[in-house]
Amino acid sequence: MGKPEIAKLGYVALVTADLEKSLYFFREVIGLEVTEEVDGVYYLRAWGDFQHHTLSLEQGDRGYVRHIGWRTKSKEDVLLFKNNLEQASVDVEFIEAWDTPGIGEAIRFKLPSQHTFELYFDITRPEVEEHRKSVLKNQTYKSWAKGISPRRFDHVNIHTSTDVDQTYSFLENVLGFKMREFLRDDDGSVLAGWMSVTPLVHDVAVLSKPNLPTPARLHHISYWTDDSQDILRAADILRENGIEFIGPGKHGITQAMYLYVMDPGSGCRVELFTGGYLIFEPDWEPIEWTMKERAIGNTYWGDSVQDKEANKITIEA
């Protein structure tokens, strides 16, 4: 039997200090659709997302991430991952099917970075009301119905104050991620890695940050828009709503165009993302960036991510 595999990034379970503000931000400004509300938890997805949700929102005493969910390639993979993790002396929590709406049997565990990941396969794909439904059979909702209206969930960016090499190794050797691009410090250590299980340059980015208030932090979640004009339109919508943002700009690493904005309820940063490139080469060699190249890696052109004070804000994960 082959090694178990992760198919894609699934969702982020986000707790917010102000649910009303977060719901307005994600529904009306970002333009996500609510699929369901259960016991005060709201489940949302973009118009091109197919599974039950890619984001959940619930009220709490502060903004933080409960866990980050990933869908495996088969139902059997969930159990295989569970066995592999336990053999590696990782504590694994089993989650009953549908305990989280839309998500079947799942397992949760912590990375060496102390971020909590969830793995699952079975999902539901809720029916869409006629007035929100796209006429396209290969699309969930009408596009451009409201707000910025990104197509789909894209990636997460996480930070840790732990030994980041242990997390890179865990992601590669236990979970099957591949390093695509990375930033090396002058002393030879890797400070940041962009890793994926799909042809995307990254499904997850992991950065070393020694002086964090807690070991595991979330820098941002990201939603994909179809093209650069969508990013410029997003800037107009944010300005009309009186919401500050960073960008537009273009990363050297990933080659993607970006815009960053903060959810005023949770403090969670959202990156709106487009462009970039896909990796189909089976023998891809990771791209190395040095500290001398860091500035252009972060910001190829446009509003600088690195220079903005808001860029340093993260939430607990």
Sequence ranges of the domains in the chain: 6-120, 152-316
CA–CA dist 110, 62 (Å, integer): 21
| pTM summary value | 0.96
Looking at the domain that runs over 6-120, which CATH code has it been given?
3.10.180.10
Q: What is the pLDDT along the chain (317 residues), one digit of tens a residue?
A: 679 999 999 999 999 999 999 999 999 999 999 999 999 999 999 999 999 999 999 999 999 999 999 999 999 999 999 999 999 999 999 999 999 999 999 999 999 999 999 999 999 999 999 999 999 999 999 999 999 999 999 999 999 999 999 999 999 999 999 999 999 999 999 999 999 999 999 999 999 999 999 999 999 999 999 999 999 999 999 999 999 999 999 999 999 999 999 999 999 999 999 999 999 999 999 999 999 999 999 999 998 877 665 556 899 99
Fold type of domain 152-316: 2,3-Dihydroxybiphenyl 1,2-Dioxygenase; domain 1 (3.10.180)
- C-alpha 236/C-alpha 209 separation (Å) is 33
Q: Distance between CA 213 and CA 168 in Å, rounded?
A: 21
Q: Is 152-316 in the same CATH topology as 6-120?
A: yes
- Are the C-beta atoms of 78 and 105 separated by less than 8 Å? yes
Q: Nearest 5°: phi and psi at 86?
A: -65, -35
Q: What is the number of other CB atoms lying within 10 angstroms of the CB of residue 104? A: 18
